[in-house]
Structure 1
């Protein structure tokens, strides 16, 4: 199934009553990964407003949470954004990552995401790739379990997910993560449609 076909089917998949109950098969948490080729990110970004509009027109409150903007907001709120940008420019990305690690712990980011998700019946996490390497996908999902266990969460993921392993951009292997279902997987590649 091509990405265009999957994007056209996405609003219907998000409106599936099983997904909206927030629980997967066997009563697992309702976390889903919509993975796609990283070079198709502009197509996903362009389609997202149409998808959200269709889901909201069906009466479901959608929380679209941009992880990159969440990180920037957290830094700005604490007065560190300009310092972080200067640090990256003078000392590089590795120094920036080390300096921001305590401020952007997965627990703190998950708390910020949960705060933004209040009132939502469905949460879409976007801009995962833009937030890398400051955020790791599996860490955010692991920390969201206790905060959003009754709300279905769909991570729009520029890379691959095979039901066990996340590979951001198809390159960077994240730790194993097996609690999410692939949403609209391509034939012969997924567990759950």
Structure 2
């Protein structure tokens, strides 16, 4: 039996409607409720058609500014995953090596090399991405973390890896913080389909923050 997934095909009017719903959810009391236990996660995905990337980026910036302008103690932090990877490569003088590796060995080789240098499968003490997020986001001051840039990262970093190898390695004090991954593609709460074209590994431990 053929498996069918309804891909995101929102109109411009629809993406603005969904972004309004997103902003309402982020500002709701329910959004920040979590027990903070080891088995409880407060992870969310906002999926959208890739053609609306610039609209989504603009609204994310606006949501951050509007919230932070009215709240002194708890802030919304926006973390661009692509910028973290570039920061990592530049600080370790790896950019030149990546160009050389791609020319000599292809993109798959570069992808494996970058992931290995990030130590994504390691614990919080050695996982580079965990360390970068901790540097940007003070746990006691964070109301929410909005993760962007995963589309720009592909294939160096994929959606399931963000959850399984980064967020699940964050220290316990970050478990109370609701985290939203902005995903250019389709998320069904079982499947992540990047750019509406390529299925990534199955994942179902995050919720769609806007369901329609």
TM-score by length of 2: 0.78
The equivalent of 2:82 in structure 1 is 68
Aligned-pair CA distance for 1:150? 1.7
Residues 1:161 and 2:187 are matched in the alignment: yes
Determine which structure has more spread, i.e. the larger CA radius of gyration.
2
Unaligned runs of 5+ in 2: 1-9, 121-126
Residues 1:8 and 2:20 are matched in the alignment: yes
Counterpart of 2:118 in 1: which secondary structure?
A: coil
When structure 1 is superposed on structure 2, of 89-98 and 145-154 the one drifting more is: 89-98
- Partner residue of 2:99 out of 58, 67, 85: 85
Distance of aligned partners of 1:23 and 1:163 in 2 relative to their CA distance in 1, 3 Å threshold: farther
Unaligned runs of 5+ in 1: 187-193
- Partner residue of 1:49 out of 61, 73, 87: 61
Q: Which runs of 4+ in 1 moved over 6 A?
A: none
- What are the equivalent positions in structure 2 for 1:1-193 lying under 5 Å apart? 2-22=14-34, 28-59=40-71, 60-106=74-120, 107-118=127-138, 119-142=141-164, 143-147=166-170, 148-186=174-212
TM-score by length of 1: 0.85
Aligned alpha-carbon RMSD (Å): 2.1
Distance of aligned partners of 1:129 and 1:104 in 2 relative to their CA distance in 1, 3 Å threshold: same
1:88-139 superposed Cα distances (whole Å, 9 cap, x missing partner): 3454322311322311232432332233222322100001100110112111
Distance 1:105 1:172 in 2: 25
Number of residue pairs the alignment of both structures matches: 184
